[in-house]
């Protein structure tokens, strides 16, 4: 459970990558508030070119190829949703949106924990504090072009808005659905969350909600196919195939992804790794369907990170990190339940 918290160096999977951030003209830009990061440099250039009136699909493949990033397979090229949103908002708008998203996450979880726990407000207060720690990364302006930052925040907001298994509440799930739909449009790594919510809607026989999630999944795959078809148009036979994502990193892949993409990175190694495990299994201490969904969500992404993703993809952990922190408040209860189960029934 020991996870390194040092930041990796060059995260490009290709040799000869552009050394440092670049502007729209391809010139190096090094500033104190924007340290070297190739991925963010690429995304910032895309935003700048859209702001100048260019179409994303007219430049993204040559731009990515010029920076020695893979364009084959086409899934290596990001969906255009966030680039257009960031271009429309501008820097001030992005900061306002990040602040609004963080406050919304805290507010919905404050209400959610207050509704579903009955202990004098202790879990509500501690849980909201943990949610703040997890969601506060939204305010790091350096990461505004990062797709996982926004998608992960929207997943946390969606989960907090949803009322799992509750019938007769009409549109209570609709706001959660819309947040998840936006997250999926930003980053396809949202799909596991959408599939989980669809599965629970089916399990609870909420047919309208199930149909909505199924429709979202169908629309997503149609949109992804359209995206890939446009990218394929500009891929050249000489473009090398990108490195495989199935690298089987094991436990370290899970822990490193979450630690390095959250505020856990400030903790010593011997605390950060166990904290990830406690956050995940702590959800089982919330004896409710929400607790079960929280555990399956965090453990599911954790399993995926063990199997899929290279070391330079550590920022994928931002997809789940914001929602994980709430599980920490239930960890003591989960540990006590585990100890009690291990001891077995008390003899008469």
Residue 39 confidence (pLDDT) above 80: yes
The CA-atom distances, in angstroms, between 149 and each of 64, 101, 140, 284, 288 are 21, 11, 10, 26, 28
- pLDDT tens for 79-122 read 999 999 999 999 999 999 999 999 999 999 999 888 876 666 88
Do residues 301 and 177 make contact, with C-beta atoms less than 8 angstroms apart? no
Q: What is the pLDDT of residue 164?
A: 74
What is the C-alpha radius of gyration for the chain, rounded to an integer number of angstroms?
21
pLDDT in tens, 137-148: 899 888 999 999
Category of 26 on φ-ψ map: left (φ > 0), alpha (ψ -120 to 50) or beta? left
- Quote the tokens at residue 299: 């453990």
Taking each helix axis from N to C terminus, what angle separates 174-186 and 147-161, rounded to the nearest 10 degrees? 170
What is the pLDDT, as a whole number, of residue 4?
53
For the chain, the residue count is 348
For residue 203, give the H/E element and its range: helix 191-203
pLDDT at residue 22 greater than cutoff 80: no
CA distance 79 to 1: 34
Q: Among the listed ranges 72-86, 100-114, 170-184, 331-345, which one has the minimum average pLDDT value?
A: 331-345
Strands (E), the chain: none
Domain ranges for the chain = 16-69, 70-343
Confidence of residue 347 (pLDDT cuts 50, 70, 90): low
Q: How confident is the model at residue 76 (pLDDT cuts 50, 70, 90)?
A: very high
State pLDDT tens for residues 261-301. 999 988 888 899 999 999 999 999 988 888 999 999 999 99
Place of tokens 């149909």: 211
Closest C-alpha to 132, from 99, 91, 164: 99
pLDDT attached to residue 201: 93
Which DSSP string do the residues of 215-254 spell out, in sequence order?
HHHHHHHHHHHHHHHHHHHH--TTSPPPPPSB---THHHH
């Amino acid at each position: 459970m020991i996870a390194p918290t040092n930041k990796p160096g060059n995260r490009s999977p290709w040799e000869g990558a552009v050394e440092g951030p670049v502007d729209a003209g391809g010139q190096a830009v090094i500033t104190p508030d924007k340290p070297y990061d190739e991925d963010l440099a690429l995304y910032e250039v895309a935003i700048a070119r859209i702001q100048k009136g260019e179409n994303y699909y007219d430049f993204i493949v040559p731009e990515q190829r010029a920076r020695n990033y893979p364009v084959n397979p086409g899934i290596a090229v990001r969906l255009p949703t966030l680039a257009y949103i960031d271009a429309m908002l501008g820097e001030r708008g992005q900061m306002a949106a990040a602040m609004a998203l963080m406050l919304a996450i805290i507010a919905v979880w404050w209400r959610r924990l207050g509704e579903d726990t009955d202990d004098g407000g202790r879990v509500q207060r501690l849980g909201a504090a943990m949610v703040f720690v997890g969601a506060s990364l939204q305010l790091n302006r350096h990461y505004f072009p990062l797709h996982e930052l926004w998608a992960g925040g929207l997943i946390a907001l969606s989960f907090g808005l949803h009322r799992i298994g509750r019938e007769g509440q009409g549109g209570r799930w609709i706001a959660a659905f819309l947040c998840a739909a936006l997250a999926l449009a930003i980053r396809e790594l949202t799909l596991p969350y959408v599939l989980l919510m669809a599965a629970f809607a089916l399990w609870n026989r909420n047919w309208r909600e199930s149909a909505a999630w199924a429709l979202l999944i169908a629309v997503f795959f149609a949109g992804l196919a359209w995206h890939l078809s446009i990218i394929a148009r500009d891929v050249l036979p000489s473009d090398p195939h990108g490195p495989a994502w199935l690298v089987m990193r094991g436990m370290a892949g899970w822990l490193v992804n979450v630690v390095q993409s959250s505020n856990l990175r400030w903790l010593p190694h011997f605390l950060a790794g166990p904290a990830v495990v406690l956050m995940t299994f702590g959800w089982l201490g919330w004896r409710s369907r929400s607790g079960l969904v929280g555990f399956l969500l965090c453990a599911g992404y954790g399993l995926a990170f063990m199997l899929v993703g290279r070391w330079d993809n550590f920022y994928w952990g931002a997809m789940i990190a914001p929602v994980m922190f709430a599980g920490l408040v239930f960890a003591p209860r989960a540990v006590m339940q585990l100890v009690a189960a291990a001891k077995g029934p008390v003899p008469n």
